[in-house]
Amino acid sequence: MATGITSESETAHNSLNERRHGGHGIIIGGEFTSTEAIMIQEDIVAAIAAADHVIIHRHQRPDPDAFGSQCGLAAIIKASFPDKRVQVTGADSPSLAWLATMDHVEDADYQNALVIVVDTADTPRIDDDRFNQGKQLIKIDHHPNDDPYGDLAWVAPDASSTSELLVDLVTHGDGQLKLDNTAARLLYAGIVGDTGRFMYNNTTAHTLRDVALLYGFDFDPSAVNQKMNEVTLGQARLQGLAIDEQHMRISAHGAAVVVISQADLQHLGIAADQYQAAVGSAGRLNEVRAWAMCTEQPEGNYRVSLRSKGAVINDIARAHNGGGHPLASGAKAADRAEIDQIYDELDALLAATPKAPSESE
């Protein structure tokens, strides 16, 4: 198996070294395989190589990319530097236990540790608030950089997923980093999760080349795909509930809002980390162009998952204490009145936005 692929010539490598910025910097946007991006990747690899102990964080309420990038990076470091101590921290997710589980990290473990936070745009969403107690902090993420943090940061919103970025970290690491079967499986799951099994428009030729590299390792991609496609009976019933006329309304312009109550979740036996299985249900309807799934929390407020087939919706998310990608964002609503406001804003956006080529006629 490949143990790391060097894509830069010796001349280019020397040029990058001449342009170093002393170990602190940030690359945001643009082509994430550019010379500048490769430079920051090399700085991250150097920081990993110099550390004796690495602790890796990700965001709260993890999805497959959060788990895949966090635990995939841990597997990469373990395969590349067997003598290093590597830990992953955060709350375990029962629905993702088939991918990996978390370590128990003591407060004392952070002394002199390199801390890496993956797939997390802003500090309030980082799972385990001890992330700033290490010797050095690195951010690796593919969300818009609304909250810059870290001594080193590599932020590439054009990437499909943070897991895709970590494949590039290996391929541009001058052979210092290695993929193994465990890392390949985890990163594949992360990419599949954030691309909707390659259905979303964040899937690029670069994404598929990285996936082709992962396919060269000894794991079963079809088993990963099948596991990610599975839902519980309660989740399947929630998917149906999400598109019935009692829970969903659709405007003439194709804006939809779905409201799921705590009573609905309790009746169906849906755990806190399971309701996301129904977020995409409204988007399967030809009549829907953009939608908000609003799920009541135990405190009485609502988590809002915003999705779109073409119109950019993350400005609406930011206006409601959230943010995210142009076509997939999260927000919060204090009550039903704010949900109505989000619905009206989606409707107005779609009224002013022509259909994208990817949208059904």
pLDDT tens digits, residue range 97-117?
Answer: 999 999 999 999 999 999 999
Confidence of residue 17 (pLDDT cuts 50, 70, 90): very low
Q: Look-up: residue for tokens 């309304």?
A: 249
Residue 310 corresponds to which tokens in the numbers above?
């073409």
pTM of the model: 0.86
Q: Hey, which CATH number is domain 10-229, 3.30.460.10, 1.20.840.10, 3.30.390.50, 3.90.1640.10?
A: 3.90.1640.10
Provide the CA 274 distance to its chain's centre, in angstroms. 17
128: left (phi over 0), alpha (psi -120 to 50) or beta: left
205-215 helix and 181-195 helix, angle to the nearest 10 degrees: 150
Q: Please give the pLDDT value at position 33.
A: 61
Q: Look-up: residue for tokens 């810059």?
A: 148
181-195 helix and 221-229 helix, angle to the nearest 10 degrees: 40
Domain boundaries, the chain: 10-229, 233-352
Question: Which residues lie closer than 8 Å to 154 by C-beta, 6 or more apart?
Answer: 26, 27, 37, 40, 41, 44, 138, 139, 140, 141, 165
Question: Tens digit of pLDDT for each residue in 168-207?
Answer: 999 988 899 999 999 999 999 999 999 999 999 999 999 9
Confidence of residue 8 (pLDDT cuts 50, 70, 90): very low
Rounded to whole angstroms, the Cα distance separating 21 from 106 reads 33
> Average of pLDDT values for 332-343?
98
Rounded to whole angstroms, the Cα distance separating 67 from 89 reads 10
Question: Tens digit of pLDDT for each residue in 249-279?
Answer: 999 999 999 999 999 999 999 987 789 999 9
Domain 233-352 grouped into CATH 3.10.310.30: yes
User: For the chain, what is the mean pLDDT?
Assistant: 90
